[in-house]
């Protein structure tokens, strides 16, 4: 069974800095196996964020092949990428579309990041469309409340600073005149 990305729309009351209340609607993206799991995760996330009542307006399955939070960029862009490959049996080029979601500052930044992301893939590609989305936050599995997923981590990866990842031991400097293998003084 594979994980899917779900776009969730939730309406709740937000308290302003001056104490005023305003109704707001947010779009969140999270990954889950099923709609039921997506709803359960969404309720947990929204309960942590807002203290009052809220309403889940919709949960829809999204077709993102990759979701990448870059170190820079606070807006989310949906990028349509047309991948081209050569079909040896028919002797023709085939084109297939995939959709990515990248964090970026603007459309040009999203375009540049897409080219950088795909440059080493060895597959021909075109970028026919980049659209700004109203997604306010992305929650990969196990990252509720965390926003430290980066491009290097990739989809489905645990961030390198996650406590479950063993960190390499720092190599100790060997003093001058000491054999590094035996530890004996020369």
Please give the Cα distance from 145 to 47 (Å, whole number). 11
Would the pTM of this model clear 0.85, i.e. be above it?
A: no
**Would you list the domain boundaries of the chain?**
1-62, 63-133
1-62 CATH fold: Ubiquitin-like (UB roll) (3.10.20)
Structure tokens at 116: 């950088």
Task: Work out the average pLDDT over 95-105.
Answer: 93
- Secondary structure of residue 62 in the 3-state scheme: strand
Q: Which helix or strand (DSSP H or E) is residue 83 part of?
A: strand 75-87
Please give the Cα distance from 80 to 179 (Å, whole number). 57
Q: Which of 124, 147, 175, 156 is nearest to 45 (CA)?
A: 147
Name the phi and psi angles at 164, rounded to 5: -80, -10
Task: Write down the pLDDT at residue 132.
Answer: 96
- Secondary structure of residue 53 in the 3-state scheme: coil
Q: Which helix or strand (DSSP H or E) is residue 46 part of?
A: helix 35-49
pLDDT band at 75 (very low <50, low <70, confident <90, very high): very high
What is the maximum alpha-carbon separation in the chain? 74
The residue with greater pLDDT, 31 or 155, is: 31
What's the pLDDT tens digit per position in 104-156?
A: 999 999 999 999 999 888 788 999 999 999 999 999 986 554 433 333 333 33
| Cβ(79)–Cβ(99) below 8 Å | yes
How many Å from the N-terminal Cα to the C-terminal Cα in the chain? Answer: 59
Task: Work out the average pLDDT over 61-66.
Answer: 93
- DSSP secondary structure, 138-183, as one string: EE-TT-TT-----TTT-TTPPPTTSTTSPPPPPPPPPPTTB-TTT-
Tell me: pLDDT of 90 over 60: yes
């Amino acid at each position: 069974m594979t994980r899917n990305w779900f776009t969730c729309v939730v309406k709740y009351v937000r308290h302003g800095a001056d104490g005023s209340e305003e109704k707001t609607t947010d779009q969140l993206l999270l990954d889950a196996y099923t709609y039921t799991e997506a709803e359960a995760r969404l309720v947990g996330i929204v309960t942590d964020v807002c203290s009052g009542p809220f309403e889940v307006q919709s949960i829809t399955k999204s077709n993102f092949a990759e979701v990448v939070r870059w170190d820079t960029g606070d807006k989310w862009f949906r990028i349509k990428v047309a991948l081209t490959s050569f079909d040896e049996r028919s002797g023709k080029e085939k084109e297939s579309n995939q959709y990515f979601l990248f964090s970026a500052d603007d459309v040009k930044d999203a375009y540049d990041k897409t080219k950088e992301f795909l440059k080493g893939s060895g597959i021909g590609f075109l970028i026919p469309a980049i659209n700004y989305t109203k997604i306010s936050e992305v929650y990969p599995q196990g990252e509720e409340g965390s926003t430290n997923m980066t491009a290097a981590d990739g989809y489905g990866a645990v961030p390198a600073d996650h406590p479950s990842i063993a960190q390499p031991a720092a190599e100790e400097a060997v003093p001058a005149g000491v054999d590094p293998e035996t530890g004996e003084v020369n």
